[in-house]
Structure 1
Amino acid sequence: ESLHTHNSEKISSQISYDVLESASPRSTDKVDLKEGSETTSKYSLFKNWPLMSSIIVYCVFSLHDMAYTEIFSLWAVSPRRLGGLSYSTQDVGVVLAISGVGLLVFQSSLYPLVERIIGPIMVSRIAGIVSIPLLTSYHYIGMLSGIALSILLNCASLVKNVLSISIVTGLFILQNRAVEQHQRGAANGIAMTLMSLFKAAGPAGGGALFSWAEKRQEAGFLPGNQMVFFILNIIEVVGVLMTFKPFLVERRR
């Protein structure tokens, strides 16, 4: 009887081991399938042209925005003899604070309405087009003084920042619409990584450009800060052109 019991235990343990052994490859297969599907999913994101085109346009506008942010502060605090405004850092802070309040109001109330009416691509395109003459006017705003300068500069800064955030928000919407919901985390990760590279180049490029422009105050073609805003406009024009087909396309639902 004891031999029979031991044999039964051996047989049952052997069966349990066989079951576990046979189940193990299946679980491994499931893990392999999951990893394979994740790799395929990431690979398919790079082949998703509506996503990648919106990310590329987003990177171009991010480069422009960071360069503009750097240049605006440098231009505002630089002396009048070099084409600046001779503002103090406190004055620049006030201008940026007013722009920030305007952004908060616009983003929370007006942007959703505008986006529903004309769509994210048109919002980004129109905002980019309007930014071009606005940037051109900065040189002439700098020729003013007193209360006229303060009012126009605050208005220009507010409008420019509203236009910039409208472009970025529209492109964010396009990126998230270009992929399925389960892919949005990976898609946003790719966008943030590439955007960070362009944003890192923005301040360095903007500072170098402004320093170079200050040395050519007597140049015959676009002297001083005119060259700065001209180059910013070139980047803006490139971004606007990219918002047209066949480059930027919206995913069909």
Structure 2
Amino acid sequence: MAPEEEVRDDDRPRTQGKIVRVTENNWIAVAICAGGLFINNYALTNVFPYMGPMVVHLGKVEHIDEAGYYVGFLGTAFMGARASSSFFWGVLSDRIGRKPIILLGCTSFIVFQIMLGFATTFEVVVAARLLMGFFNPLVGLCKTVVCEVVNDDNQTKALSYLTGWAAMGMVLGPTIGGWLSEPAEKFPNVAFASSELLKTFPYVLPNLFGSFVSTLMFLAVVFFLPETLVAEENSYAQVSQTSIDDSKDDDQLELELTNIRGTKVVASTEIEEGLINKQPSPERKPQTVKGSSIIKSICPLGRMYKILCDPRKRMAAFMYSYYSFTSSFYAEVNPLWYISTRESGGLNFTMANIGTIISISGVGLFLYNGFVFPLISHVLTPIRLIQLTLIALAVFYSMVPFLSVIEPQDFNLLNVKAHTWFYLLVQFSSMLQMILNNHEYIGINIIVNNSCFSNERGAMNGLVMTLGSVFKAIGPLGAAAFAWSVGSRNSFPFDYHFGFFVLSILCVALLLYSKHLPLSLNEKRI
């Protein structure tokens, strides 16, 4: 093959050697991974409408007003178990492959949603949610696989499809869960809905639907999803020669890697990254998966430390953790602001108003990611996308609380009442925030994938999932900050604006930090 010059970012030198490139974009694999995020979010959220009634039905409490304590267990069991196991599944996928671990996740959704639907005690429901979360590697691995089946130019577009279907799962989960639960009460005139089975197990239908969709996902993975871990067996990659640049000094060396099956990959980097010896490493024999290797994966602290010692991985993990905190912070502040009274600076919306706004925004995000964002995804590099989004979010968070100053008057514009115009304005602001947050999420996930080599990518995604869950747990501080600012009757900007101003400052701080990201994070390391 004739030599060709490889174009790299300014902080990555051109060197001689072989690199693995993705030359075909497997959009079928991307669609399957998008389905993985859909079934994950459906399983997470479909229980939300009926958690309280289920606690009463199972005899744990007599009245739904007393169910809050037990509902908390159901709400946290899934996410807590997933956070505890994400890194382990990621490491294991780097050893035995992505496909078997994804199949395990699909199987867990098939089995444990049925277990939840037919549960006769509250303890069985909690166990089903815990097991469903623990055996759930789908979010991290689906993002990993997408990175490995598309080229650099299409990573942004592919991840936009994933986040779009994830948003649809968040919307359809509560909707289907609400409609299909307790069918005997909702559809008394339908013979099947009034059957003895559905009276005994009134919450089985939404879980059977989730199990059915998970079965379809399982079959799609078996027949259509390629194994993406090993470069030499990946039909979407090829080996190309890079040019020789004799002008480079010893500080710019080649790193010879051998993955778990002996596939040799040559990548270039800088000596300051602390990853290279001056002598090339000898070719290693293909490794086999041993029991001791899997046991080491179960004790992840040393592996986590090793990953975070790499400055590029550490910076990418910090960006993801920071994003998780700010998104959770806003998710706590925004509904409280919606529902607060006008006197305290809120919008005085009802819970039905809030649910409608969030649902419409989720559908809007799905359509935006499917039809609009792919058209502009090639314009910006991941780092530039993050930076511009952070600027827009900083302005948005500082301006949006001023909506409460607007008092809709009794007038018509184009035969539409003022209250309707105001509601549309709030709806637009909600959708805008969701779209901007989606841009930040896509950009950060790309740099997470680009910060590591293929045989480390599962562990890296598992690590950031774990760290993200920890930082999301700190996010409810936003609710405390909003409650303090409203309750203390402080003056501007320490009134109801305070929580939003904190978010704006956090965005500016992350923007300044992003200026130090190496430009090599715009490119995939394979």
TM-score computed with the length of structure 2 as normaliser: 0.39
Structure with the largest fraction of strand: 2
Higher RCO structure, 1 or 2 (CA under 8 Å, sep 6+): 1
| Bigger Rg, structure 1 or 2 | 1
CA distance in 2, matches of 1:229, 1:43: 34
Unaligned 5+ residue runs, structure 2?
Answer: 1-287, 409-418
Amino acid at match of 1:116: H
Amino acid at match of 2:363: V
Match of 1:126 in 2: 388
SS of 2:377's partner is helix
Amino acid at match of 1:169: I
Equivalenced residues, count:
223
Match of 1:150 in 2: 423
Q: What displacement does 1:251 show?
A: 6.4
Q: Is the CA contact 2:304–2:463 (under 8 Å) kept in the aligned structure 1?
A: no
Superposition RMSD in Å: 2.7
Match of 1:215 in 2: 487
Q: Report which stretch shifted further, 151-160 or 38-47.
A: 38-47
Amino acid at match of 1:105: L
Q: Is the CA contact 1:214–1:224 (under 8 Å) kept in the aligned structure 2?
A: yes
CA distance in 2, matches of 1:136, 1:180: 39
Match of 1:229 in 2: 500
Q: 1:181 to 1:87 in 2, by over 3 A?
A: same
Match of 1:106 in 2: 368
Structure with the largest fraction of helix: 1
> What do the CA deviations read for 1:162-207 (whole angstroms, capped 9, x no partner)?
111110111111111221222111011110111111101102x011
Q: 1:173 aligns with which of 435, 438, 446?
A: 446
TM-score computed with the length of structure 1 as normaliser: 0.79
Match of 1:73 in 2: 335
Q: Report which stretch shifted further, 230-239 or 65-74.
A: 230-239
Q: 1:121 to 1:112 in 2, by over 3 A?
A: farther
Q: Is the CA contact 1:76–1:84 (under 8 Å) kept in the aligned structure 2?
A: yes
Q: 1:227 to 1:42 in 2, by over 3 A?
A: closer
Match of 1:162 in 2: 435
1:184 aligns with 2:457: yes
CA distance in 1, matches of 2:395, 2:305: 40
Unaligned 5+ residue runs, structure 1?
Answer: 1-28
CA distance in 1, matches of 2:304, 2:290: 17
Q: 1:99 to 1:195 in 2, by over 3 A?
A: same
Amino acid at match of 2:514: T
CA distance in 1, matches of 2:455, 2:402: 49
Q: What displacement does 1:212 show?
A: 0.3
Q: What displacement does 1:44 show?
A: 4.5
1:86 aligns with 2:86: no
CA distance in 1, matches of 2:482, 2:303: 43
SS of 1:75's partner is helix
Match of 2:469 in 1: 196
Amino acid at match of 1:210: F
Percent identity among equivalent residues? 26
Q: 1:116 to 1:128 in 2, by over 3 A?
A: same
CA distance in 1, matches of 2:361, 2:289: 53
